[in-house]
């Protein structure tokens, strides 16, 4: 459960008095998510999500995140819409944290997605990339190669506590990525965390995307690699070629990858596997016992990283040859 900051009913009512959202009838902490504290609010009007932004979210980035959601929604993408306060601002403060109200999105995330869902995710990711092309604010990816090095510097001394030999293995992988990371691929705004829990479906239809709090400007194909890692492996760790193929075909049906992006896919997948390994490892080592959050397993992403190191060409991910 991710509720790091608790709120009192009184403070919440004061916070809500800045908005035109009706009267609060109930609220509860949401037992999902890792990064921020989320609450589901019921009011005499529509249900709402209240988010209190926690450690990895810099308050200075909120205009980017919340503005991006507004921009994407205006372009027809189904994502939560931040609500404006009476003074026009879309962010306030609650229990000492920056806080915002966003619209409630109907749908459920899929525990066992199939290839058809992966296809829909590929389509939605490419649509997001295109819809964000004229978004005017930019944000550097704080969790790209430099950010990985910073995280690793903090986690490396204790890495072998998690698995003997990790310090040597990850050090070598990071060195490889630093010297092979692609620079000249198409860039734009990426979601950067489009995992299963951030994509809602109603029945088999994709109904919306949430959680734009890692979004940033980076290589568009890197976002594809994040989705391959998040959506296309089986619980036993095996890569699912049919899902990978479907996700890539869905993406390419909206935004075809160019030859350089295709050639770079294996190294991008190595990078995104390492990125999630490192944040999970850091959290694994630093989250206090008893915190109300389910820690995610770094070793899942170590296995994915190893898998990608053995890949020689993007076709092994299920990429259809160009027509
Ligand atoms: N706009 C929304 N509509 C409906 N549910 C939401 C919405 N935003 C968040 N949630 C719920 O809260 C959970 C955690 O949200 P998320 O943004 O992923 O948190 P975190 O940033 O902490 O990872 C989601 O899995 C979902 O259940
Ligand atoms: N997707 C990341 C963790 C971030 O969690 P989210 O709830 O914000 O998606 C991971 O799996 O490591």
List, for residues 69-86, the tens digit of each pLDDT value: 999 999 999 999 999 999
Is 78 part of a structural domain of the chain?
A: yes
pTM across the whole model: 0.94
Residues 135 and 246 placed together within one structural domain of the fold? yes
Average pLDDT over all residues of the chain? 95
CATH code of 221's domain? 3.90.1200.10
Last residue of a domain, one of 103, 132, 167: 103
Residues 241 and 141 placed together within one structural domain of the fold? yes
Is 1 part of a structural domain of the chain?
A: no
Last residue of a domain, one of 54, 70, 103: 103
Is 3 part of a structural domain of the chain?
A: no
Tokens coding 215: 């979004």
Domain that holds residue 66: 9-103
User: How far apart are the C-alpha atoms of 302 and 155, rounded to whole Å?
Assistant: 14
User: How far apart are the C-alpha atoms of 150 and 76, rounded to whole Å?
Assistant: 37
CA of 167 relative to ligand 1 center, distance in Å: 34
Residue whose CA is at the smallest distance from ligand 1 atom 1: 104
CA of 14 relative to ligand 2 center, distance in Å: 31
Residues 187 and 252 placed together within one structural domain of the fold? yes
Q: Which residues contact 145 (CB under 8 A, 6 or more apart)?
A: 177, 178, 181, 271
| Per-residue pLDDT band at 1 (split at 50, 70, 90) | very low
Please identify which residue in the block is written with the tokens 């001394």: 157
Last residue of a domain, one of 48, 72, 103: 103
pLDDT at 288: 74
Residue whose CA is at the smallest distance from ligand 2 atom 10: 276
Residues 169 and 252 placed together within one structural domain of the fold? yes
Termini Cα distance of the chain: 47
Is 161 part of a structural domain of the chain?
A: yes
Helix (H) or strand (E) holding 149: helix 145-162
User: How far apart are the C-alpha atoms of 280 and 272, rounded to whole Å?
Assistant: 12
CA of 114 relative to ligand 1 center, distance in Å: 22
Residues 183 and 230 placed together within one structural domain of the fold? yes
Ligand 1 near 54 CB (within 6 A) = no
Residues 165 and 77 placed together within one structural domain of the fold? no
ipTM: 0.93
| Per-residue pLDDT band at 6 (split at 50, 70, 90) | confident
Note the pLDDT tens digit of each residue in 251-303: 999 999 999 999 999 999 999 999 999 999 999 999 877 666 678 999 999 99
Is 217:139 a contact under the CB 8 Å cutoff? Answer: yes
Residues 65 and 208 placed together within one structural domain of the fold? no
Instruction: Answer whether residue 124 shows pLDDT above 60.
Output: yes
Burial 10-42 (b: 16+ CB within 10 A, else e): eebeebbeebebeebeebebbeebbbbbbbebb
Residues 167 and 99 placed together within one structural domain of the fold? no
Domain tally, the chain = 2
Residues 125 and 251 placed together within one structural domain of the fold? yes
Ligand 2 near 198 CB (within 6 A) = yes
Nearest to 255 by CA among 227, 274, 230, 231: 227
Ligand nearest to the CA of 284: 2
Instruction: Answer whether residue 173 shows pLDDT above 50.
Output: yes
């Amino acid at each position: 459960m991710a509720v790091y900051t608790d709120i009192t009913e009184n403070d919440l009512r004061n916070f809500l008095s800045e908005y035109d959202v009706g009267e609060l009838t109930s609220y509860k902490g949401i037992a999902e998510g890792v990064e921020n504290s989320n609450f589901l609010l019921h009011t005499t009007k529509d249900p709402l999500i209240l988010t209190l932004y926690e450690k990895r979210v810099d308050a200075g980035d909120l205009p980017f995140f919340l503005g991006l959601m507004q921009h994407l929604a205006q372009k027809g993408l189904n994502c939560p819409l931040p609500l404006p306060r009476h003074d026009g601002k879309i962010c306030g403060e609650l229990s000492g944290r920056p806080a915002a109200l966003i619209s409630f999105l109907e749908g459920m995330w899929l525990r066992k997605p199939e290839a058809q869902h992966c296809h829909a995710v590929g389509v939605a990711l490419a649509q997001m990339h295109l819809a964000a092309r004229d978004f005017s604010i930019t944000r550097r990816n704080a969790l790209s190669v430099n950010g990985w090095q910073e995280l690793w510097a903090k986690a490396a001394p204790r890495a072998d506590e998690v698995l003997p030999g990790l310090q040597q293995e990850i050090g070598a992988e990071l060195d490889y990525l630093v010297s092979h990371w692609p620079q000249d691929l198409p860039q734009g705004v990426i979601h950067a965390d489009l995992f299963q829990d951030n994509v809602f479906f109603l029945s088999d239809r994709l109904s919306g995307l949430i959680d734009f709090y890692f979004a940033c400007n980076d290589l568009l194909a890197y976002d594809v690699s994040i989705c391959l890692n998040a959506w296309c492996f089986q619980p036993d760790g095996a890569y699912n070629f049919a899902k990978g193929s479907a996700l890539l075909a869905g993406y390419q049906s909206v935004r075809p990858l160019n030859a350089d992006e295709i050639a770079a896919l294996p190294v991008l997948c190595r990078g995104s596997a390492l990125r999630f390994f490192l944040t999970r490892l850091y959290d694994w080592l630093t989250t206090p016992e008893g915190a109300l959050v389910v820690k995610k397993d770094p070793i899942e992403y170590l296995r994915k990283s190893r898998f990608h190191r053995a890949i020689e060409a993007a076709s092994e991910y299920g990429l259809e040859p160009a027509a």
